[in-house]
Amino acid sequence: MCGRLTQYRGIHDFVAVLSIPDALINHVGEAPLERYNAAPTTELAVLHQHEQSLHADNLRWGWRPHWAKDRAAPINARVEKVANGAFFRSIWRQRLIVPVDNWFEWVDVGEKIRQPWLIRRADRNPVFCAAIGQLPMLGAVQREDVGFVIITADSMGGMLDIHDRRPVVFDAERTLEWLDPATPPERAEQMLLFEGAPSDAFEWYKVGKAVGNTRNQGAHLIEKLA
């Protein structure tokens, strides 16, 4: 997963798919998010459960523990190591969902030539990416301590021709289970390893190279290349 996402729906459009009866505690606003080309280190809307309520907050994409200040903050965590490795131990139980519309990958097609592709759910539903992170309300005391990482797995199946890693994506039912603090860590790890959406749940197509510049925004970035 190269590290470029879209979040252009409104947060309530994402949450509506989850059919949650209780009100959302919304700190990201009511308007469409309109992030057509979101890059690492930028703030994205995330969902998390706190004190038995679903919250939506903006959180920086990328996180590292306080003892790793000498290295760049990772934006992704490999599913094979996230539950048991030392690097993410302090946030492993702080489960989040990053709701996105699509993500982008790049494929080498020649010397110094890369073709961007857009990947989305074939049913056009939101892409609920499993993530872990640190929010201020969950113990972070300094701004540089907050952030999140998206959990990635092998791109088994047809997506291998686009990229060898992809986000672990849950359906609505598993999204709620992942967010529930009562879900045991062992169960959460099992979900990551075995219950993410399969490759055939997605479709992908080529898009224009303008998406390569993070300053570019707008709906034209997600249009299929003729």
The CATH number of whichever domain residue 47 belongs to comes to: 3.90.1680.10
φ, ψ dihedrals at 204, nearest 5°: -150, 150
Per-residue confidence at 161, pLDDT binned at 50, 70, 90?
A: low
The answer for residues whose C-beta is within 8 angstroms of residue 70's C-beta and 6 or more apart is: none
Number of domains in the chain: 1
Rounded average pLDDT over 136-163: 71
Rounded average pLDDT over 145-157: 84
Would you say 126 and 39 are in contact if contact means Cβ atoms under 8 Å apart? no
Between 82 and 52, where is the model more confident? Answer: 82
Per-residue confidence at 155, pLDDT binned at 50, 70, 90?
A: low
pLDDT at 108: 86
Which residues carry out catalysis? 2, 105
C-alpha–C-alpha distance, residues 69 and 48, integer Å: 26
C-alpha–C-alpha distance, residues 163 and 156, integer Å: 10
Per-residue confidence at 165, pLDDT binned at 50, 70, 90?
A: confident
Domain that residue 33 falls in: 5-222
Per-residue confidence at 69, pLDDT binned at 50, 70, 90?
A: confident
Q: Which of 62-76, 104-118, 136-150, 212-226 has the lowest mean pLDDT?
A: 136-150
